[in-house]
Amino acid sequence: MKKVDLFAFVVLVLFLSLFLLFKVEISNVYMSITATHPYLMAFIKFAILATVGEMLALRIKSGVYYTEEFGIFPKMVVWGLLGIWIAFAINVFATGVPRVIEQMGISGFAMSMEAPFSCEKLVGAFCISVMMNTCFAPVFMTVHKITDMHIHQHHGRLKSLIIPVKVKNIISVLDWKVQWNFVFKKTIPLFWIPAHTITFILPANFRVSFAALLSVALGLILTFASLKSTK
Whole-model pTM: value is 0.84
* 52 and 4 part of one domain: no
* 119 and 218 part of one domain: yes
Alpha carbon dihedral 178, 183, 185, 186, in 10-degree steps, equals: 110
d(CA 50, CA 214): 8
Q: What is the pLDDT along the chain (231 residues), one digit of tens a residue?
A: 565 555 555 555 554 454 445 455 556 666 777 778 889 989 998 998 888 888 887 777 777 777 777 888 999 999 999 999 999 999 999 999 988 888 887 777 788 888 888 888 899 999 999 999 999 999 999 999 999 999 989 998 989 999 999 999 999 998 888 889 888 998 899 999 999 999 999 988 888 888 888 877 776 676 666 655 555
* 201 and 126 part of one domain: yes
Domain that holds residue 10: 1-36
* 85 and 20 part of one domain: no
* 70 and 29 part of one domain: no
* 180 and 166 part of one domain: yes
Total of domains in the chain = 2
Closest CA to 162 of 151, 149, 172: 151
d(CA 225, CA 231): 10
* 223 and 131 part of one domain: yes
* 29 and 102 part of one domain: no
* 94 and 5 part of one domain: no
